[in-house]
């Protein structure tokens, strides 16, 4: 069970809805992932009706928790505008806040992110802030009113996996709000390793949408997240630089 | 009437309210959110909010995203 701002969610795996080949494949993958929280983006409707990109009729809000994002926003003002539009759609007051600082890496503009977090938290939004793996920014976001902090494993869409387990562990150890690692996982072992750091959840999109078989990968990710969480709770053995035999050293034949 | 909708100029609009405009454009008012001259039009106010010549509107909805 994952709890964010007093709201209980059934799965620690959160998934995006972008880049799937078909809506049917997206729905099947989300189903296989077991995710309850699914992210969506706000964009202009197509007035010539040639491209009905609207996604709601594939994702019944009675079944999924729709978490709108501010992807593509490069300033605090822009992200605030998108968040307000998303809230008016009337599903909830949660927002996955992104303020991007660089087109090549999609790394966050942490100054803009902090500013937007303060404004939106003041307006009653439940802000889940997408950020880098920097502890100080994470602490400032919590102070600014974020209900969850979402450090990256590696850049959005890169599939490079968890680049800095130490920083993720440190952020988890120092913040009180839930830590949801967002972006960068590529395969199930990445998801497992992320969860082994003790974080509260993971959000992923490209790793599923761009897998050869998204539905099978979604199932693998579900297992990876569960395995990683269980391993974290179980507590791993210490790492040693020497070998210690597993079988008795006594009772050997002469 | 001349409006700017989602960045494109549109002429010959007959609607007088935002709700009528959405219907004229073939959109479901429950499935979109509207900004009129940078202010969000609250859902309950769609029918009562008038559009005037030269207004700038943004009409958005949810699409797939990460």
Question: Tell me, what's the ipTM?
Answer: 0.94
Q: What pLDDT is recorded for position A54?
A: 79
Name the residue facing A39 among B7, B10, B65 (closest C-beta).
B65
- Measure in Å the smallest separation between the Cα of A9 and chain B Cα atoms: 18
Bridge partners (DSSP) listed for residue A43: B61
The rounded percent of chain A whose pLDDT value lies above 70 is 98
Encoded tokens for A22 = 């078909």
To the nearest whole number, what is the mean pLDDT of chain B?
94
Q: What pLDDT is recorded for position A221?
A: 98
Nearest to A190 by CA among A160, A155, A229, A235: A160
Chain A residues bordering chain B (beta-carbon distance below 8 Å): 16-20, 26, 39-45, 47, 49, 53-56, 66, 68-69, 71, 84-86, 88-90, 156-157, 183, 203-206
To the nearest whole number, what is the mean pLDDT of chain A?
95
Strands B56-64 and A94-97, sheet pairing: unpaired
Q: What pLDDT is recorded for position A61?
A: 83
Active-site residue set of A: 96
Q: What pLDDT is recorded for position A51?
A: 62
For A79-108, what is the mean pLDDT?
Answer: 96
Taken in order A238, A153, A157, A16, the sign of the CA dihedral is: positive
Bridge partners (DSSP) listed for residue A15: A38, A204
| Subunit contact A47:B62, Cβ cutoff 8 A | no
Q: Is the pLDDT of residue B55 over 90?
A: yes
Q: What's the pTM?
A: 0.92
- Residue A165: what are its φ and ψ, rounded to 5°? -60, -35
For A155-177, what is the mean pLDDT?
Answer: 97
């Amino acid at each position: 069970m994952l709890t964010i701002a007093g709201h209980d969610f059934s799965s620690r795996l959160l998934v995006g809805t972008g880049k799937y080949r078909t809506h049917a494949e997206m729905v099947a993958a989300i189903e296989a992932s077991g995710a309850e929280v699914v992210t969506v983006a706000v964009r202009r409707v197509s007035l010539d009706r040639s491209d009905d990109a609207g996604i709601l009729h594939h994702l019944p809000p009675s079944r999924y928790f729709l978490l709108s994002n501010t992807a593509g926003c490069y300033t605090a003002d822009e992200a605030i505008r998108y968040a307000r539009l998303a809230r008016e759609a009337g599903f909830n007051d949660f927002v996955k806040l992104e303020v991007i600082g660089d087109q090549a890496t999609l790394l966050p503009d942490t100054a803009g992110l902090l500013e937007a977090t303060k404004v939106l938290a003041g307006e009653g939004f439940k802000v889940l802030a997408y950020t880098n793996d920097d502890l100080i920014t994470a602490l400032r976001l919590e102070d600014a009113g974020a209900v969850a902090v979402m450090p990256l494993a590696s850049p959005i869409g890169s599939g490079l996996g968890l680049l800095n387990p130490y920083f993720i562990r440190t952020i988890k150890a120092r913040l009180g709000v839930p830590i949801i690692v967002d972006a960068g996982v590529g395969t199930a072992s990445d998801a497992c390793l992320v969860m082994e750091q003790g974080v509260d959840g993971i959000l992923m999109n490209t790793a599923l949408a761009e897998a050869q078989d998204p539905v099978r990968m979604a199932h693998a990710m579900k297992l990876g997240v569960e395995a990683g969480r269980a391993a974290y709770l179980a507590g791993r053995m210490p790492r040693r630089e020497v070998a210690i035999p597993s079988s008795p050293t006594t009772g050997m034949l002469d | 009437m001349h409006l700017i909708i989602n960045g494109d100029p549109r002429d010959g609009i007959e609607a007088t309210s935002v709700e009528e405009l959405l219907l004229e454009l073939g959109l479901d008012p429950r499935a979109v959110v509207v900004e009129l001259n940078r202010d969000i039009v609250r859902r309950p106010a769609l029918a009562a909010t008038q559009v005037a010549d030269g207004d700038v509107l943004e009409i958005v909805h949810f699409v797939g995203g990460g």
